[in-house]
A and B are shown apart, each in its own frame.
Chain A
Amino acid sequence: MTLSPLFWTYVKVVLLVATVPAIVGFVIVLAERRIMAFMQVRLGPNRVGPEGTLQGLADLLKLVTKEDITPARAEKAVYFLAPVLAVIPALTALAVIPFGPPVRIGRTVVPLWVADVNIGLLFLLAITSIGVYGIILGGWSSNNKYSLLGGLRSAAQLVSYEVPMGLSLVSVLLMTRSLSLVEIVKRQESTHLWFVFPGLVAFFIYFVSGVAETNRNPFDLPEAESELVSGFNTEYSGVKFAFFFLGEYTAMIIISCVAVTVFFGGWLPPFPNVKALEFLWQVPPVLWFFAKVGVFVFAYIWFRSTFPRYRFDQLMGLGWKWLIPMALANILVVAFAILLFPGRTTGLVWLAWVFGGLFVAMYFLAKLRQKLARRERLAAEPHPVEG
């Protein structure tokens, strides 16, 4: 008996919709809270279940049993719709992410993606930006000034960071010549090169705008507890709040997934072409994928516990004055490198060396300069602090 591909698609959709919220609730939130706590020399939640593993369940129970409040004079329909708008697109976007190469189950070959759309990247960009409407509408419909400010900030953030994100992906498109995410991974396999190396600048821009797009620190302006008292979700409680929460974390997963797929070779192990490292292929590719996503989520958490928050206008300035010109210039450079050796990847390799070398050189120069400046400052201080 063979099962139709459609059946497998249903199975995958159900699996995704069921597991991703569970992963968000149980793994990522817990990991975030505990890792942040560790960085802040404290322990974090460790009471519910062994080492706090059931914290997600407790949070879920709390949120579900909480009273669901709708403020007086709120736009009821929109207020109800906004959390849904925040979650559905985020979950939909997961459809095009390739978690691994096709696997054989029985006699059927099942690809580990729901759909290999040939406009994959465009689809992703389009669908994730719908999620922001949830935040904007939620902020507006709550009839609360702080929420409104949060929603407006979110709108501005969306406008300024969609552009650099798209532009940074364009330079990758030049390398892959395909929008399909599966195709992008395969292309990285065939060129023996993760695109993060030639696309270092593109990756940087993509990740910065990704952090901004998901409203995470240091770009968490729409929420900004200390300024807007949670901004757009001030008035939300219970399940609706849980939906916003879920939407935000799913968006974070998607940004990480796309970064892994486009820049870090998707399910490929590190250095797929090096003979000595062939044993890495023994690890199932899906695990490689999840490990890489995990690294990105960790980076998100790390940023959150380290950086202060940008101001609204500075955020816009960063987007428009820095990231967009940088992305445009990067496209030019990449295009030039590709055109220099048409049909071959030599240009990309060169580009990788140039970008990598430049950055490392700059970093160490700056480090040196910092050390010298510190020594000078200490020498110039009239009363150096001894001991």
Chain B
Amino acid sequence: MSDEKISQAEKDEAAYFAERAKAGAAAAQAAAAPEPGTLFDVQEMELNFGPQHPSTHGVLRLVLKVDGEKILEAKPDMGYLHRGTEKLFETETYPMGIPHTDRLDYVAAATNNHAFCLAVEKLLGVEIPRRAQLIRVILDELQRLSSHLVWLGTSGIDLGAVTPFWYAFREREQILDFFEEYCGARLTLNCMRIGGLPFDLTPGWTERVSEFISDFPARVDDYEQLLTDNRIWKKRTIGVGVISAEECVEWGLTGPIIRGSGVEWDLRRAQPYECYDELDFVVPTRQNGDTYDRYIVRVQEMRQSARIVRQCLERLEAGEIRGKVPRVIKPPAEEIYASVESPKGELGFYCVSNGSNRPYRMHVRPPSFINLQALPRLAKGHLVSDLVALIGTIDIVLGEVDR
């Protein structure tokens, strides 16, 4: 530790102990005060929602102030899953960072890999072969499907509809099988490398995927038949957590949330990376910005992803899968920000290089973290039952929030 650091730490420490002494005095005072009122004497009640709660999708903790069941205030408290990924990036060479990105948004590892690789490739100025681009897009979109399927299942369970979960996971299982066949892992894929891909496709993979994809819209129809028109589902979601387009921009919300509020903004369309610019797909948007619209947007996105995968499969042709990347990756001492449209929104990597083989600083711009920020705003005035719908509709993954 340098001297100035120690002095700073000492200052912090002194402040901390002073604060604790103050808190201790306050606690003593409170203990001396008469017994606080029981549950029925107070109007407001503090409710700890999580970290061990079935519908916080991980270890999110919300400290709620409730009046009856009405939420007056919600304070998210996270960090239970903080693993210091950004610190780890700094200590390792660039290729060694990719497995760590799997653990950020662990239901959509491929897009994380992609964003990381994209940042480094931009820094290096590497061109990626066309076949690798197409395969990357296929992996991305399959990953989007699987992530949205997890979202559909879990947010259905949050609202009491148990069955879509199993149907969604049945399809997701097939997608994970494809991933397993391609790269050998089901969840933490590590399926991209800087400059391209680690493997070529296995024989028969494309046929199996295209068979699955042509079957997929019918499966989505099943989910929709269970939920979209269902009066209970509509009642639980329409008008819950309404957020306007302006507010979305103000809060920095991304992904299906901002599209559900009527902003047609999708990085695949706005700033196309890989070969998205030549693909034909629709960016689904809805106008009302409530939970139901976000649901519709995500379901539509699943259909569009299936379309994208089919188009890419048609365009696949033999070729290289890895661009010309130096054996030792030493990017110029520059900084770069690169982002992809992950299933949750804009996933960005801000990479600062000092010319060595390790990133000097690698910062993740996690969509879940920024989206979660709006949860108190969305939840205010709603009931506890709506809160689970809102957590579901934001679609957070705590691995990404806490990093």
A residues contacting B by CB (< 8 A) are 36, 39-42, 145-146, 148-149, 152, 217-218, 220-221, 224-229, 304-314, 370, 382-383, 385, 387
Cβ-defined contact, B383 with A309, below 8 A = no
Q: Which of B112-120, B193-201, B226-234 contacts A (4 or more CB under 8 A)?
A: B226-234
List the 10 closest A-B pairs by CB distance, nearest first. Answer: A309-B160, A40-B166, A308-B161, A226-B55, A308-B159, A311-B385, A308-B160, A387-B214, A226-B158, A308-B232
Min CB distance A142 to B, Å, is 11
Contacts A308-B160, A311-B236, A382-B282 known; list 16 others, CB within 8 Å.
A39-B163, A41-B166, A145-B47, A146-B47, A148-B39, A227-B384, A305-B163, A307-B160, A308-B161, A309-B385, A311-B235, A311-B383, A313-B383, A383-B282, A385-B217, A385-B307
A310–B47 Cα distance when bound, in Å, is 21
Cβ-defined contact, A310 with B167, below 8 A = no
Who on chain A is nearest to B47 by CB? A145
Who on chain B is nearest to A383 by CB? B282
Cβ-defined contact, A218 with B232, below 8 A = yes
A313–B383 Cα distance when bound, in Å, is 9
Who on chain B is nearest to A221 by CB? B385
CB-CB < 8 A to B303: which residues of A? 385
Min CB distance B185 to A, Å, is 24
Cβ-defined contact, B162 with A305, below 8 A = yes
Min CB distance A277 to B, Å, is 36
Q: Which of B45, B236, B281, B388 meets A310, CB within 8 Å?
A: B236
CB-CB < 8 A to B383: which residues of A? 311-313
Min CB distance A387 to B, Å, is 5
CB-CB < 8 A to B226: which residues of A? 306
A349–B265 Cα distance when bound, in Å, is 61
Q: Interface readout for B123-162 with A: 1 if CB under 8 Å, 0 if not?
A: 0000000000000000000000000000000001111111
A310–B163 Cα distance when bound, in Å, is 16
Question: Is B280's CB within 8 Å of the partner chain A?
Answer: yes
Q: Which of B39, B230, B306, B386 meets A307, CB within 8 Å?
A: B230
Who on chain A is nearest to B280 by CB? A383
CB-CB < 8 A to B158: which residues of A? 226-227
Q: Which of B45, B53, B214, B310 meets A229, CB within 8 Å?
A: B53
Contacts A149-B384, A218-B232; A309 near B159 (Cβ below 8 A): yes
A-B contact pairs, 12 of them (CB 8 A): A39-B163, A145-B45, A145-B47, A149-B384, A226-B159, A227-B55, A229-B53, A306-B161, A308-B156, A310-B235, A312-B69, A314-B236
Who on chain B is nearest to A220 by CB? B160
CB-CB < 8 A to B217: which residues of A? 385, 387
Question: Is B54's CB within 8 Å of the partner chain A?
Answer: yes
A229–B47 Cα distance when bound, in Å, is 13
A229–B383 Cα distance when bound, in Å, is 15
Q: Which of B39, B47, B163 meets A306, CB within 8 Å?
A: B163
Who on chain B is nearest to A306 by CB? B163
Cβ-defined contact, A42 with B166, below 8 A = yes
Question: Is B170's CB within 8 Å of the partner chain A?
Answer: yes
Cβ-defined contact, A229 with B159, below 8 A = no
Contacts A311-B235, A313-B383; A149 near B69 (Cβ below 8 A): yes
Q: Which of A40, A146, A221, A309 meets B167, CB within 8 Å?
A: A40
A305–B235 Cα distance when bound, in Å, is 18
A309–B39 Cα distance when bound, in Å, is 27
Q: Which of B47, B227, B235, B310 meets A314, CB within 8 Å?
A: B235
Who on chain A is nearest to B234 by CB? A308
A106–B220 Cα distance when bound, in Å, is 62
A348–B214 Cα distance when bound, in Å, is 53
CB-CB < 8 A to B280: which residues of A? 383
Cβ-defined contact, A226 with B54, below 8 A = yes
Cβ-defined contact, A229 with B160, below 8 A = no
A383–B304 Cα distance when bound, in Å, is 9
Contacts A308-B233, A311-B236; A40 near B163 (Cβ below 8 A): yes
